[in-house]
Homo-oligomer: A and B are copies of this chain.
């Protein structure tokens, strides 16, 4: 009954996400977003309403995909230590086609402190990953792989902090050996 779109909204969202990821929220202009998505301004604004809403959607998309992968991994039947090792290695062996670092980390640094709504989105995502990690450590303790005296919540926080630190180092241009050293050292903390 009407003219159909010539683009795939999901692909456009993915492209916008990568632009924000690479350059940051403030430094990404609406023209950058047009170039990245291949759309005109009208299409961008028709589809996503504003730069701000597009960013929210892009961030939500990022968290959905990435956190799902983390939950999958942590829900697998690997030994707990192997789960954590694989998790850390996601950062050591990051896809070279992806921008450096992590959109969640970048957003926590750049946007969250002055934007309560974004901060709340990040907090919810953080809690999901924290809970999955906690469960993994608890399972590891029940299986006798992890020292039962440790607090699973503390270990979960530690893993998240370690990955966050690695992501920042990578974004700062650290070489692979340094990132690998961090991961291997962290694995000895529990």
Any chain B CB within 8 A of the CB of A163?
Answer: yes
CA distance A27 to B185 in the complex (A): 36
Any chain B CB within 8 A of the CB of A90?
Answer: no
Residues of B within 8 A of A160 (CB): 165, 169
Chain B's nearest CB lies how many Å from the CB of A187?
Answer: 8
Any chain B CB within 8 A of the CB of A56?
Answer: no
Which parts of A160-184 form the interface with B (CB within 8 Å)? 160-166, 168-169, 171-173, 178, 181-182, 184
Any chain B CB within 8 A of the CB of A2?
Answer: no
Given the interface contacts A22-B113, A113-B22, does A157 sit within 8 Å of B181 by beta carbon? yes
CA distance A101 to B23 in the complex (A): 20
User: Is the Cβ of A182 less than 8 Å from the Cβ of B157?
Assistant: yes
User: Is the Cβ of B105 less than 8 Å from the Cβ of A109?
Assistant: yes
List the B residue with the shortest CB-CB distance to A112: B172
Any chain B CB within 8 A of the CB of A190?
Answer: yes
User: Is the Cβ of B168 less than 8 Å from the Cβ of A108?
Assistant: yes
User: Is the Cβ of A112 less than 8 Å from the Cβ of B181?
Assistant: no
